[in-house]
Structure 1
């Protein structure tokens, strides 16, 4: 089983992206062992803090990333980009550069939004950041869940749109193959 650490870029308790992450976790049962690396308790990145050694929350966050075979980032789109909390987490994870938690690691991106275009712009920005961090980002299939509010079951608020769930299966299969390729190269 592949160990995946996930990062949810939304800090909102009942966010659409947390629902997407739950759907991915459900659809990947038997293939992935998923663990969440929370970002809501990370201090704002500041080199002055870093000079004294990483704060405990940052150390725990980086260890979760390092212990996994791969990383999955689920992000909303705010003002055509990624949320500040996610950027902050990536800044912490990228340090020190020579031992970045993302360097040479397989990473996948997904996102959900009520907008019709999905999270295309935030994912494009996130890909740019991850390339700068020397991460190996899965090129496709992309998971850009638009109009997510229309794809939720009324009572449970879980994603129940069959087309979306089928697409998640394709995504999970592709990322599994991508990660296995890296594991064989080790």
Structure 2
């Protein structure tokens, strides 16, 4: 029996204090069953991608980032939408994770995407672009449910805790979907934790 926790690495495409997308990830950690471990990596610690840096071996923090991905069973990304695109800090992280070409640490890694914005798009444009980039480097995209969160300021309290029950349920279902996709991709993983999971939270 595999007693190891199911590990999800959570990445936020927004660095600001009070970020709604960081709030989504905190909600994911709160809603995850007790056999799921959600950890965070601060993308703001990564330097801008530069092949000169890469040529002399990745900086230490980039090694740490890639190791965090490698040791996770899956990755969960929460992205805002800037000018209809993925934020630069998130694009930069994907650039680092995509290297070396053809050997990305994200290759065959299940990745789920969600996002919150102040406007009405729900981050759909950023999510579409992000899924395209991830697919190109070989990640396995968890297709459903889509978690698109428009008008985010209405859904969080003053401490940036997600209070909207529908969105919380969507996130709970997304975590379940991540685990099931991992089960399909890694058939050698014990079914005991997944089949015995309590999704009643």
- Distance, in Å, in 2 between the alignment partners of 1:19 and 1:121 is 20
8 Å contact 2:45–2:61 — kept in the other structure?
A: yes
Unaligned runs of 5+ in 2: 190-201
1:148 aligns with 2:152: yes
- In the TM superposition, what is the alpha-carbon distance from 1:39 to its structure 2 partner? 1.0
The answer to whether the Cα contact below 8 Å between 2:156 and 2:162 also exists between their aligned partners in 1 is yes
- How far, CA to CA, are the matches of 1:160 and 1:95 in structure 2? 38
| Residues 102 and 137 in structure 2, CA contact (< 8 A), matched pair in contact too | no
Q: Quick one: which of 175, 180, 183 aligns to 1:177?
A: 180
**Which stretch of structure 1 is more off in the superposition, 27-36 or 139-148?**
27-36
Q: In structure 1, how many angstroms separate the alpha carbons of the residues matched to 2:157 and 2:91?
A: 31
- Of 156, 161, 165, the residue aligned with 2:164 is 161
- Aligned equivalent of 1:38: 42
Seen in structure 2, the aligned counterparts of structure 1 residues 141 and 58 have a Cα distance that, compared at 3 Å, is: same
Unaligned runs of 5+ in 1: none
Aligned twin of 2:6: 2
Match of 1:123 in 2: 127
**Match of 1:111?**
115
1:95 is aligned to 99
d(CA) in 2 for partners of 1:3 and 1:97? 25
Of 134, 140, 157, the residue aligned with 2:138 is 134
Query: TM-score w.r.t. structure 2 length?
Result: 0.88
Contact 2:12/2:79, CA 8 A, preserved across alignment: yes
> Offset at 1:185?
5.0
Note the C-alpha offset of 1:11.
1.1
Q: How large is the RMSD of aligned CA atoms in angstroms?
A: 1.3
- Aligned-partner Cα distance in 1 for 2:128–2:71: 26
User: In the comparison of the two structures, how many residue pairs are matched?
Assistant: 185
Distance, in Å, in 2 between the alignment partners of 1:15 and 1:123 is: 17
Deviates more, 1:24-33 or 1:129-138: 24-33
Task: Answer whether contact 1:106 1:178 (CA < 8 A) is retained.
Answer: yes
